[in-house]
Amino acid sequence: MPEAANIVPSMSQNNSLFGKYEVGRLLGCGAFAKVYHARDINTGQSVAIKVINKHKISHNAHLVSNVKREIDIMRRLQHPYIVKLYEVLATKTKIYFVMEFVKGGELFAKVAKGRLSETHSRKYFQQLISAIGYCHSRGVYHRDLKPENLLIDENGDLKVSDFGLSAVTGQIRADGLLHTLCGTPSYVAPEILTKRGYDGAKADIWSCGIILFVMNAAFLPFNDSNLMMMYKKIYKGEYKCPKWMSGDLKHLLSRLLDTNPETRICVNDIINDPWFKKGYKEPKVELDDLEAVVKPEQEQDNKPNALNAFDIISFSSGLNLSPLFDTSSSRQGERLVVSESPENIIEKVDRIVKEANARMKKRKEFGVDLVGKNGKNVIGIEVFRLTERLVVVEVQSSPGAQDFYDELWNNKIRSELLTRPDVQVSES
């Protein structure tokens, strides 16, 4: 597996990432990211790991913003027909999205073999609308819906993926519209082509209409070798349905592919459409998932300090985000990623400090200062939770405390933590 071996320079010989994931074959790649199949070493569960090279995007503020937004969006979406984001990890040079592995491949591959029946098209379309309606209700607009971004799992269910071009309500301008031009030409809504702004939900519905057409026809409703001619067809809404389509399906498509976004059908009306609602059952979304979406930033009082995904990315200056440490040469500091509870780490620190005849002062729940005998030498230690299983231990010393830092941190505390095989180190 030569590709997997080159994901990070520090990856172990057995392709183990962070001591948690055994990385396998390359699933796909783009200009700034690669996706690998991997296995959770503890559970045996298959996952997909999207690896983003920080150096390739650090010079482009737009790309950095897209990555941050994709993480923020995916962590707030918990729906049975949306690919799950399990966790985000980072090193100095890479960002890792650990996601649900959907092994059935792209919907595009199914359609490429031939058109789907109306029954099969309806099933996938129902799942697509369920997922997109859920996104819209939470202020998320995908903006790049196409069969290549729709995956099919082992149960034959659809999963929406790739939120890299998605928008959120915070990007809507004073006129109530989005203005960023994005999407795939054959699936883009006509109002986007006018460059006057557009409603993200309405634009997604248009793309859903194109997908429904493609599933049952196996060809695009608007297509031309000349891009401008294709845009002209899209703007005028010029398409023809094949003769095998039922009247009800044609009627729904006419409402989905309405060139006027003001009169285009909305999700609620789609769900009540006669063709759509045959056998439709709204999937159950767990209450805990809803609470996580509604209040993504809220932390329970009894939980340790938690780092969100943006903090994880900022562990490297590669994205030019605010550093977590003072990087002056007079200060020492580093970070350890450890698979251990914050409580256990603080207990270990307390025990070692007492044995060394130093003092430990508590600053916050999982933040302490270690003070030397002269009262001037200080080492600050803080523990942040990354995921349910991983924490980051940050350490920083006061200026001139090199000897104290070496004696207590390097020779004692750090050494004990490094006895764990799953510790990752990042110097500040």
CB-count burial class (<10 Å; 0-12, 13-18, 19+) for 97: buried
Q: How far is CA 181 from CA 73, 139, 188, 200, in A?
A: 19, 18, 9, 11
Is the per-residue pLDDT at 4 higher than 50?
no
CA 146, CA 184: separation in Å to the nearest integer? 8
C-alpha 23/C-alpha 48 separation (Å) is: 9
Is 403 part of the annotated catalytic residue set?
no
Q: Mean pLDDT for the chain? A: 79
Mean pLDDT check: name the lowest of 90-94, 306-310, 320-324: 320-324
Higher pLDDT, 158 or 331: 158
Question: Would you call 306 helix, strand, or coil by DSSP?
Answer: strand
- Name the pLDDT band for 317 (thresholds 50, 70, 90): very low
User: Residue 221, SS3?
Assistant: coil
Q: For 94-141, what is each residue's pLDDT tens digit?
A: 889 999 999 888 899 899 999 999 999 999 999 999 999 999 988 889
**Which is catalytic among the residues 144, 162, 273, 311?**
144
- 358 pLDDT band (50/70/90 cuts)? confident
Q: Is it the case that residue 312 has pLDDT exceeding 80?
A: no
User: Pick from 340, 348, 419: which is nearest to 381 by CA?
Assistant: 348
All domains of the chain in start order, with CATH: 2-101 (3.30.200.20), 107-285 (1.10.510.10), 323-427 (3.30.310.80)
- Give the chain's length: 428
CA distance 230 to 183: 15
Q: Which of 239, 222, 240, 149 is nearest to 185 (CA)?
A: 222
Token code pair at residue 177: 């519209």
Separation of CA 69 from chain center: 8
pLDDT at 294: 34
Query: Which residue is listed with tokens 């620190």?
Result: 349
Separation between Cα atoms, residue 321 and residue 61, nearest integer Å: 11
Range with lowest mean pLDDT among 69-73, 227-231, 279-283:
69-73
Least confident of 36-40, 141-145, 263-267, 339-343: 339-343
Res 373 pLDDT > 80? no
Q: Is the pLDDT of residue 171 over 70?
A: no
Highest mean pLDDT among 79-93, 114-128, 130-144, 403-417: 114-128
Q: Give the orientation angle of helix 200-217 with respect to helix 247-256, to 10 degrees.
A: 150
Query: Structure tokens of 376?
Result: 């001037």
What are 13's two structure tokens?
């010989």
